[in-house]
Structure 1
Amino acid sequence: MLSFLLSALLLTSSPAATKVDTDWRTPFEKGNGNTTTTYAECIDYYKRLDKAYPEILLREAGPTDSGFPLHEVIVSLDKTFDPVKTRSKNRRVILIQNGIHPGEPEGIDAAMMLARDYVQKPELRQQLQGVTLVIIPIYNIGGSLNQNSTTRANQNGPEVYGFRGNARNLDLNRDYVKQDSRNARSFAELFARWQPDVFVDTHTSDGADYQYVMTLIATQQSKLHPALTRYLNGNLLPQLYQGMTQRQHPLTPYVDFEGRTPDARGLVGFLESPRYSSGYTALFNTIGFITETHMLKAYTPRVRAQYDFLDLLIRAVQHDKEALGKARADANRQLATQTTFPLAWKLDTTSVEKITFLGYEGRLKPSEVSGEPRLYYDRTAPYSRQINYYNTFRPTVMVERPAAYLIPQAWEEVLDRLRRAGTQLRRLTRDTTLTVEVRYIQDYKTSPKPYEGHYLHSQVELRREEQPLTFHRGDYVVWLNQPAARYLMETLEPQATDSFFAWGFFDSILQQKEYFSDYVYEDVAADLLRRDPSLRERLEKLKKQNPAFAASGAAQLDWVYRQSPNYEKSHQRYPVVRWTGGKLPEAETLK
């Protein structure tokens, strides 16, 4: 804390500063070390920086559920604030997001100081050569406005903080693909505009007690493109781990584990699907980090750790800007020719490495509440121990890439999400009939309780058919030879963990719309069986194989109905169809 206060008081202003003696301390620095900024104070501080320094621009970036706008802060030495122009100059872009869970506000305070220091300190200004910094000051504004001192029951400060749920009580770190919130929709558009090379989402952890002030989630190495994984593991992570150790904030992978304590069975890598921030950004070949400062450490060291990590990341990206640019360009180029995509993953328990872990002994003592044995971590018994780390995942579902998807224009809710992600869409200019690959939802499981406003589907089983279907003028063609190919596969293939089907966007197809009255259809079914002996033969075979079926007249009548022309072909037919042929007739599509 002292170093922050001294640096703030002794900073030398850049020539652009309007007043050399302006007090640039943040609300955190003016406090007692256990206070954080409010939303209004945060935005006001960035407004002051924007006014004083032409290298900083604060602007609105879309609506949020709270009614207040989302903001972005751009820090650019040559005042290039347009994403297209930034990319044309071959800049590396770092996107820092704070306050997704406003009860975890360290990143909010750290980023304010970071933006100031990077324009005021000559040595830090040099780290922005070839690098553009984009900061979301507070993502969950509704949660930030919902101030309290009690809901973070496990956390050691600050004195007052925000709430995890947003204005609609959504956890925004489960909303990146489904985009129920205006926040997530605005983020998707901001992300598509900037196409950042590296993304950071700042958090505070729950869970076990240990010696580390900060733990780290990096984009799951098994899911990241191999070119980026090589750069991440070989260049970026070693620099960050070494730098944080030198600054007295040693890192360890995020403490996710099975068993009573972390050392019992070891740590497990975090499998972030696209509902999470870093899982979403990975779909676009962006390296992601989730910084997790430890809830039980004092607030000031937690803010310092966030500041140091962000500073070290900027330095590393600046140092490696060519290598990072090449790795990402390789990933994007190879994506264009990738033919098979993984859609679901499972931990490989046969692949394990040893890491050094700085923990506290976990012990048991009688609970003063129940009298039963309870866990506690003995801080008088620290240890440094080699433990297992499982960080390899294997794909369990692989799907071949189609040439294109065709999507009827009726599904506007899905099409809106594709547009926000920057996908390239075309529309049919006239009615046409095409033979396409359709999928029927043969079976699936649905969660018994709502999760973030949805009843999630999983374990999807499909039946595939080639069918002639009529498409109408205005229906959409989505070619897969585009940068968003992986995003399209993981949202439009129903078996994917966070597909739009999994989140319930296509639930209306699961309900049958036409049926029959049994006393009427008995005669129709009898006539069908008389005219089709093979159908009668199949029915009798099923009755012999299944006694319960044989004992149910209703089940047999329903079976005959489902084999007949009377049964609606659209029931449980997934409306996004696959085009696996060659180029569609040019006259049929319009940019």
Structure 2
Amino acid sequence: MLTTLLLAALLATGTPDKTDLKTPYEKGNKNQTATYDEAIDWYRKLDAAYDEVKMVPYGYTDSGRLLHLVIVSTDKDFDPKSIKQKDKRVLLIQNGIHPGEPEGIDATMLLLRDYLQDKSKRKQLDNVVLAVIPVYNIGGALNRNSHTRTNQEGPESYGFRGNARNLDLNRDYLKTDSKNAQAFHLIYRDWDPDVFMDNHTSNGADYQHVMTLIATQHNKLNPTLAGYLQGKMLPSLYEGMKKDKFPMVPYMNTIGETPEKGIIGFMESPRYATGYTALYNTIGFVPETHMLKPFDQRVQSTYKLMEHMISTVSRDAKEIGQLRAKAKQETLTQKTFALDWQLDTTKVEKIPFLGYAAKYKPSEVSGLERLYYDRKAPYATNINYYNTFTPTVTVEKPVAYIVPQAWREVIDRLKLNKVEMRQLKRDTTITLDTYYISDYKTSPRAYEGHYLHSGTKVETRTMPRQFLKGDYVVYLNQEANRFLVEALEPQAVDSYFNWNFFDSILMQKEYFSSYVFEDLAAEILKKNPDLRKQLEERKKQDAEFAKNARAQLDFVYRNSPHYEPTHNMYPVGRLMQDVKLPL
């Protein structure tokens, strides 16, 4: 009776009941996932129940709803600077970037509650702080249905891949078109996580594994961290999952239609989560549970992987901190950076794989041969794994970039990434390296709201240029230097140039009338015999050019002072030597 009265009194005063933290997943049939509102309400309850938990809003998303960060800190310190000073590691867990792949949402709720209630688990949080984004793609989570994940086994209903602007947020890290990504950058730069997990579900081939894993591509990661990742961290995770009867395999990025021919490591550029976090020396993971496994198995395997991640980070907390500090210092003084990569097919390893026999039979739709996997014919084998990439494009890091203030979209994105910038105090002429865009290809169809460029080539000219009071000088002796190189070098795969933020430079604004320019062109050639010689050589080598009067006039025009110097000129200057500037 006394216990009942005490409980009633506690509830009457508003003190939460810590036992009343069952999740929607548990209250249902374990084939249901929490809605966005259910998840946030549950985290509010967790926040109220435990002083070690704090939920913080980090700004509005494209859906008009707030993006939250939930922090679990057992010493009740929620200041990221103070946490770093205590030499604690920060593990950032992100859920629901693709809300049709929701097991991370439910598994993380279970995980946090269990670690707060279980003393043996809780001890692992003595030197690890958990930071959790409960649902990243809120707009997609609100767009709930039961059909868009066509090939997936459960849950009964789920969210949609596109956000409120129909953007795939796992293509938006560097370009940052969404408010979601803007809020993420605030979280990421505030908390500077040591390890990052972004929970997903895979598509593709059928096989026995419930969990597959993408780790930060080790060739892209700083060598100091890559050695630890490959030699110690990944083996711990794989061994732990095997003991828990969830043997893992790398993400099934298959060479052929089926896995037997082998798989290729995932080379993530900074449009992707772990490609972006690698720019700041964070070890990143994308767990990908198998779409054809029951939802409860996918939740369990995600839970187990996060459990092993926490225990590994806790065990190696001091080592990770030391290695990451070393990696940051090495990146700070790094002279050259790789901007593009290719697979090295000469480097291959054998990895264990649990598959199902791939077979073919006539299609009941087309009558033609179709693939199917025979689950009555499981097998165990070793398959080829190609996971070595070599740089194809490198660049020497400048002392500083100078970004004209006119390029507001670029400046705003640099500010979001907390890039240190200074502004010129007066108009000034600066001699520096300037790129001219010599070649590029453009996607014929829109991709994530852009007509993406690729294969960009540049010609470098050292020249004096006029910059204006208020233009931005961005020195590279800062933690964001690798991010800056990948964003501002046009040849980089996900550069701001390739994402179309500088497209206005690609169009001429002035031209000539042929009948007027004829006489002027003749006069230019008389005064410039070398140009005349070049013109005649071109006519000899190119029959079509020789028959095209307009093309020949254009040749003279482009080699005269009348041709506008800003056409194809990339506006961001590269200062290669430290000179005194009016700052």
- TM-score, normalization by structure 1: 0.95
Selected match of 2:97 from 96, 100, 111? 100
Does 2:210 match 1:217?
no
Counterparts of 2:60 and 2:307, CA distance in 1: 29
Q: Which of 70, 86, 89 is residue 86 of structure 2 equivalent to?
A: 89
Mapped pair 1:303 → 2:310? no
| Aligned residue number for residue 294 of structure 1 | 290
Compare 274-283 and 109-118 and name the one that shifted more.
109-118
Please list every run of 5 or more consecutive structure 2 residues that lacks an aligned counterpart in the other structure: 1-13
In structure 2, the residue matched to 1:11 is none
2:338 aligned residue: 342
| TM-score, with structure 2 as normaliser | 0.96
Shift of 1:260: 2.4
Structure 1 residue 584: Cα displacement: 2.6
Alignment of 1:86-165 (within 5 A): 86-165=83-162
Query: What is the 5 A alignment of 1:418-567?
Result: 418-567=414-563
Is 1:328 matched up with 2:324?
yes
8 Å CA contact retained: 2:87, 2:318: no
Cα deviation digits, residues 244-265 of structure 1 (max 9, x gap): 11111111100111212101x2
Task: Tell me the amino acid that sits aligned with residue 383 of structure 1.
Answer: Y
SS in 1 for 2:249: coil
Deviation, 1:88, is 1.7
Q: For residue 273 of structure 1, what is the amino acid of its counterpart?
A: S
Write the distance in 2 (CA, Å) between the matches of 1:67 and 1:120. 34
Q: How many residues align?
A: 570
Superposition pairs for residues 221-370 of structure 1, below 5 Å?
221-263=218-260, 265-370=261-366
Instruction: Report the alpha carbon displacement of residue 21 of structure 1 after superposing the two structures with TM.
Output: 6.4
Displacement of 1:26 in angstroms is 0.3
Given candidates 186, 195, 198, the residue that maps to 2:195 is 198
Which residue identity does 1:404 align to in structure 2?
A
Question: Relative to 1, partners in 2 of residues 1:244 and 1:462: Cα closer, same or farther, differing over 3 Å?
Answer: same
Structure 1 letter corresponding to 2:81: V
User: Secondary structure of the equivalent of 1:135?
Assistant: strand
Find the aligned partners of 2:18 and 2:220 in 1 and give their Cα distance: 49
How far is 1:562 from its partner?
Answer: 0.6
Separation of aligned partners in 2, 1:31 and 1:520: 80
* Distance in structure 1 (CA, Å) of the matches to 2:535 and 2:529: 10
- How many angstroms does 1:543 deviate by? 1.2
CA separation in 1, counterparts of 2:578 and 2:166? 46
Find runs of 4+ consecutive structure 1 residues off by over 3 angstroms.
Answer: 17-22
Q: Deviations over 1:427-477 (max 9, x none)?
A: 111111111100100111111111111111111111111110011111111
- Matched residues in 2 for 1:364 and 1:65: separation? 45
* Cα distance, 1:20 vs structure 2: 5.2
How far residue 19 of structure 1 moved from its aligned partner, in angstroms, is 5.0
Instruction: Give the equivalent residue in structure 2 for 1:400.
Output: 396
Q: Is 83-92 or 317-326 further displaced after alignment?
A: 83-92
Superimposed CA distance per residue, residues 303-329 of structure 1 (whole angstroms, 9 cap, x where no aligned partner): 011111111101110110011111101
CA drift at 1:233: 1.2
Q: Work out the CA distance in 2 between the residues paired with 1:362 and 1:584.
A: 66
Task: Give % identity.
Answer: 58
Residue 3 of structure 1 corresponds to: none
Tell me if structure 1 keeps the 8 A contact 2:97–2:136: yes
> Per-residue displacement from partner, 1:355-398 (whole Å, max 9, x unpaired)?
11000110001111111111011111111101100000000001
What is the deviation of 1:521? 1.1
Q: What are structure 1's unaligned runs of at least 5 residues?
A: 1-16
Structure 2 residue matching 1:109: 3-state secondary structure: helix
Q: Aligned AA for 1:479? A: Y
**Secondary structure of residue in 1 paired with 2:280:** coil
Counterpart of 1:4 in structure 2 is: none
Tell me, in whole angstroms, the C-alpha distance in 1 between the residues paired with 2:16 and 2:566. Answer: 69
CA distance in 1, matches of 2:86, 2:406: 40
**Aligned-partner SS, 2:242:** helix
SS at match of 1:499: coil
C-alpha distance in structure 2 between counterparts of 1:77 and 1:132, whole Å: 8
Q: Calculate the aligned-residue CA RMSD, in Å.
A: 1.1
